[in-house]
Structure 1
Amino acid sequence: MGVRIPPGLPSSGASPIRGFQVVNEIIKFLREVKVELKKVNWPSRKETIGSTSVVLVVVIIVAIFLGLIDIGLSRLI
């Protein structure tokens, strides 16, 4: 019963053809991303400002609420 030794790997590493395929796939992916981003219905400046304002107000309210809870619980201990 002998030990089989698998054939050695190529000494040059990855083939240059495979490297070009990877680069071409990346370029293809980026082109497809660009096409998809053109299809996106981006919000207007007014909508963005309105949404941002709502988020900031909610964050401030939650921060105040948690701060009051923290102060209240720390005085109990």
Structure 2
Amino acid sequence: MAAKGKSKNNIAAADEKKSVFSPTQIKNFVGEVKTEFLKIVWPDKKMTLGLTGVVVVLTVVISIYLGSVDLLLGKIVSSFLR
């Protein structure tokens, strides 16, 4: 009888080791994430501001282009519907 109880504990322990959501697996994952974050080389302030400026300028240019195309196509379609 004691062997049955012992084997159930071993099975439960093996299942806990395999479970991705066990506290030890979560702790290992968080530790690995922290280690990887320390390896990241973040851009400096000048580079960040420069790239942000490029994104803002491209967004404005593309939105003006798409707005003008939409306006032009809207006028063409409305002239055909008259």
The TM tier, using the shorter chain, reads: 0.7 to 0.9
> Using the alignment, how far apart are the partners of 1:32 and 1:40 within structure 2?
13
Matched with 1:23 is: 23
Moved over 4 A (4+): none
Unaligned runs of 5+ in 2: 1-11, 78-82
Q: CA RMSD in A?
A: 1.9
Partner of 2:6: none
Which residue does 1:73 correspond to in 2? 73
Query: Which residue does 1:51 correspond to in 2?
Result: 51
Q: Structure 2 CA distance, aligned partners of 1:70 and 1:27?
A: 53
Q: Normalised by the size of structure 2, how large is the TM-score?
A: 0.68
Distance 1:52 1:38 in 2: 24
Gaps of 5+ in 1: 1-14
Q: SS of the residue aligned with 2:22?
A: helix
SS in 2 for 1:51: helix
TM-score with structure 1 setting the length: 0.73
What is the aligned length?
A: 62
Task: Identify, as 1 or 2, the structure richer in helix.
Answer: 2
The alpha-carbon deviation at position 48 of structure 1 amounts to: 0.6
